[in-house]
Amino acid sequence: MSPYEEVILEHWRNPRNRGRLDKPDLVGVEVNPLCGDAVRLELQVAEGRVTDVRFDGQGCAISQAAASLLTELIRGRTVAELREMRDEELLSALGGVIPTRRNCALLPLRALRRALGG
Ligand code: FES
């Protein structure tokens, strides 16, 4: 199994931060129009920094595992830092993603950008 497959499977089986926040400050939902898969991200923000985060959604293992991993990457960061977050950071944290599955892996990052208003 490749490192990429191991990361995906691990997060798919043991999703981090799945659920909803009581009163999220920022919410972003993104749907992949090609398949209908969806990711919802909710952020709690205090003094410009993410203090808590949850994701929810349904879809392929890659999109949901990437959402789980993304929640770990963004907790504690500032909103300004997240606005600068590049696709490559998430793709490389996943262990590299084959080109045909990039859209799946980046679905949660697009949800984050919606939450941030961009
Ligand atoms: Fe729909 Fe992966 S197949 S996001």
Indicate which residue's Cα is closest to atom 2 of ligand 1. 104
State the pTM of this model. Answer: 0.95
CA of 74 to the centre of ligand 1 (A): 22
Contact 40, 29 (CB under 8 A): yes
Supply the range of the domain harboring residue 18.
3-115
**Closest-CA residue to 58 (of 34, 43, 40, 33):** 40
pLDDT tens, position by position, 26-47: 999 999 999 999 999 999 999 9
Identify the CATH number of the domain in which residue 53 sits: 3.90.1010.10
Pocket residues: Cβ below 6 A from ligand 1: 32, 35, 37, 59-60, 62-63, 104, 107
77 HSE (CA, 13 A, CB side): 16
CA of 23 to the centre of ligand 1 (A): 28
How sure is the predictor about 93, in pLDDT bands with cuts at 50, 70 and 90? very high
Q: How many structural domains does the chain have? A: 1
